[in-house]
Amino acid sequence: MFNGNAANYPPVLTRYEGVECLNHSPLVYAHGQTNIALTGSGTLDASGTASWNKGSNRAGVLDPLVNLPPTQRNVVGKLRVSYVEPYSCTNVLIQGVTLRHAIFWQLHPTLCTNVTIDGVTINTPDMGNSDGCDPESCDHVVINNCSISCHDDTIAIKSGRNADGRRLHTPCQNIVIMNSRFTGPRGMVAIGSEETGGVQNVYCFNLSTLSGGIWAPLFIKNNSLRGGIVTNINMDTITGTGHSDTSPATGAPAGVMAIMNYNGETGAFPPTIDQIHVNNMTFDSSPFAVRLVGLSNDHIGTVTVSNSTFTHIAHQAPLATSVDHLTLTKVTINGKPA
């Protein structure tokens, strides 16, 4: 049980929604370490930190400081901290543990190489913005045999936000997510929206939903304020149930969803979304099977969906605007070939 004494969490270098800063230490933290592990069958409980782990106004608190060096962007006591955050570490193992009652992002490996997350259970279904696992600007990540219930994206792959993401210019790449179960109100596997450094080479296999379902099995969200290249994203053997609510920032969900107008933000950095491949997806209950929204001057590239079945879909036809190549092969929507 983590406690409510803020002094036990001294200031450290961390990242808040894709921007480096100085903040209270995450509850479990390491910086610049090699061969580290958090393992065992125990339960970590963050509820006791609620007294000091507060703040979500990044735009008002942190964004005005981005022209300063990261260690001078002091937001201590003004913004929340992640739950478990190895930072600039190599050879990281997180295995067997259970996380409960998170206040913010839960597993947040940042700028790390060789990360294995295996057999982890996350149960925080009632705290908003409590992403389950957010690998950020990491290289070689395996997420296996996990069960994640949270109140946002269950897996969210990230690589920095806007100017600070361009400064570090470090992609999140070479990621395998497999044999896991999820429930939550947003993406099963989300990419973004903080993906300015790029995301590439992602392979997802044998993923399913827990009771309660998921908003979208694949949810790529970007805009021209973020920029960044998202390419070579692959999903195979995905099953689950969705739900039909909409979000002002994204509109209606879908089984396969990629948008370039996230949150209505625009800028001078048109993103790239290309080489998205989904095979053997079975998904029930959603507004759309496929929803792709590019920009008139910046199209989504190639998207393929094959050997997939979508049922109880409100809109029979996929929605694809400003997309160069969308190929559906052996896909049925509500029992009809698409």
**Tell me, what's the pLDDT at 210?**
92
How far is the C-alpha of 23 from the C-alpha of 42, rounded, in Å?
A: 27
**Tell me, what's the pLDDT at 245?**
78
Tell me: the pLDDT tens digits for 252-290? 999 999 999 999 999 999 999 999 999 999 999 999 999
CATH number at residue 110: 2.160.20.10
**Tell me, what's the pLDDT at 146?**
98
How far is the C-alpha of 13 from the C-alpha of 268, rounded, in Å?
A: 29
How far is the C-alpha of 200 from the C-alpha of 139, rounded, in Å?
A: 10
In a domain, 89, yes or no: yes
Q: Which two tokens stand for residue 58?
A: 């990044």
Residue whose entry in the numeric block shows the structure tokens 């995905």: 238
As beta bridge partners, residue 206 has none
**Tell me, what's the pLDDT at 125?**
75
pTM of the model: 0.97
In a domain, 9, yes or no: no
Tell me: the pLDDT tens digits for 31-57? 999 999 999 999 999 999 999 999 999
Tell me: the pLDDT tens digits for 73-83? 999 999 999 99
Calculate what percentage of the chain has a pLDDT beyond 70: 100
Range of the domain at 130: 31-49+82-337
**Tell me, what's the pLDDT at 298?**
98
**Closest to 261 in 3D by CA, of 294, 229, 236, 230:** 294
- Given a cut of 80, is residue 126 above it in pLDDT? no
In a domain, 106, yes or no: yes
**Closest to 165 in 3D by CA, of 95, 110, 107:** 110
User: Residue 22 — pLDDT band, cuts 50, 70, 90?
Assistant: very high
* Count of the separate structural domains present in the chain: 1
Q: Find all residues with CB under 8 Å of 279, minimum gap 6, and list them.
A: 234, 235, 236, 237, 305, 306, 307, 308
With contact defined as beta carbons under 8 Å apart, do 181 and 206 qualify? no
In a domain, 275, yes or no: yes
Tell me: the pLDDT tens digits for 138-187? 999 999 999 999 989 999 999 999 999 999 999 999 999 999 999 999 99
As beta bridge partners, residue 331 has 308
Q: What's the N-to-C CA distance of the chain in angstroms?
A: 51
In a domain, 65, yes or no: no
In a domain, 8, yes or no: no
Question: What number is the average pLDDT over the span 243-251?
Answer: 82
With contact defined as beta carbons under 8 Å apart, do 90 and 114 qualify? yes
